[in-house]
Amino acid sequence: MTFSLRSVQTLAGFIVVLAALQVRAAPAQDVKQLVAACAACHVMSDVPANSVNPIIWGQNAGYVYLQLRDFKRATRASESDAVMHALTQTMTDPQMLAIAEYVSAQPWPKSQNGTTPPTDPLFRRGALVAAYGDCGGCHFNNWQGYSANPRLRGQTPAYLTTTIDEFRSGKRGNSPGMSDFLRIYTAEDIRAIVAYLSSAE
Ligand code: HEC
Ligand code: HEC
């Protein structure tokens, strides 16, 4: 069986139209459907300090997109990422971009993280370690980061502790540079950094 030139051209045209449709997919209503299930775990207000589910609402779009991509590719694949790995399997690239933009446009939720007051020695030590470590060089803008550099301010202490441990052990392997930055600290330094970043208002 052979294809005529015309049928090949028609097929090519069809593929181009399909691709264009895909790129323009995900109008507002579709995005709302895609994110409908997220809030079951990533609650939108009154996030408890012991939540290992990170705050995602109001997180930077570039960073959210990269994480969805990495969960899907399993370059971010510790045991705690099993759910996100499963959820992202059927997501297309344009869908992940649309989700990231939607997620980042939501207000950062009210959280119950402000447990370490600025007068606490642990908070002060955390501020010092973060300053000497030049964490603010990338997580700048008052710890809100920008684009692919995540916001850390007000993130839940339980999640920060988990993900920093996973960077240090290499279980979170999607950013070897970030792992190197965090490996030089003592456990007490890390406790202090977490107390400081999660409580910074
Ligand atoms: C069943 C619970 C569950 C659901 C539903 C869920 N997530 Fe997650 N998500 C998690 C957990 C747990 C983590 C943290 C994994 C870790 O510790 O590495 C996470 C992490 C993330 C991260 C990384 C955040 C960061 O700061 O690195 C993003 C982004 C994310 N989820 C987006 C979503 C989106 C978008 C949806 C909806 C489409 C969703 N999640 C639905 C449990 C869930
Ligand atoms: C050279 C830039 C740079 C420096 C310096 C840096 N970071 Fe990061 N950090 C990043 C980037 C980029 C990411 C996102 C990595 C990814 O895509 O997974 C990140 C991710 C993180 C995360 C994960 C956030 C989340 O929501 O999961 C934490 C926590 C973190 N950094 C803490 C720190 C601390 C503490 C310091 C200082 C000791 C520091 N970083 C210094 C660039 C940097």
Contact partners, residue 130, CB within 8 Å, separation at least 6: 136, 193, 196, 197
Residue nearest to atom 40 of ligand 1 (CA): 38
What's the CA gap between 180 and 7, in Å, rounded? 55
Q: pLDDT of 13-41, one tens digit each?
A: 334 333 434 444 556 779 999 999 999 99
State whether the beta carbon of 38 lies less than 6 angstroms from ligand 1.
yes
* CATH T-level assignment (fold) for domain 5-104: Cytochrome Bc1 Complex; Chain D, domain 2 (1.10.760)
Distance 136 CA to ligand 2 centre (A): 9
> DSSP class of residue 132?
H
Residue with tokens 């590719």: 73
Token representation of residue 26: 């995900």
CATH of region 121-199:
1.10.760.10
Residue nearest to atom 14 of ligand 2 (CA): 149
* pTM attached to this predicted model: 0.90
Residues forming CATH 1.10.760.10 domain(s) in the chain:
5-104, 121-199
Q: pLDDT of 118-173, one tens digit each?
A: 999 999 999 999 999 999 999 999 999 999 999 999 999 999 999 999 999 999 99
State whether the beta carbon of 152 lies less than 6 angstroms from ligand 2.
yes
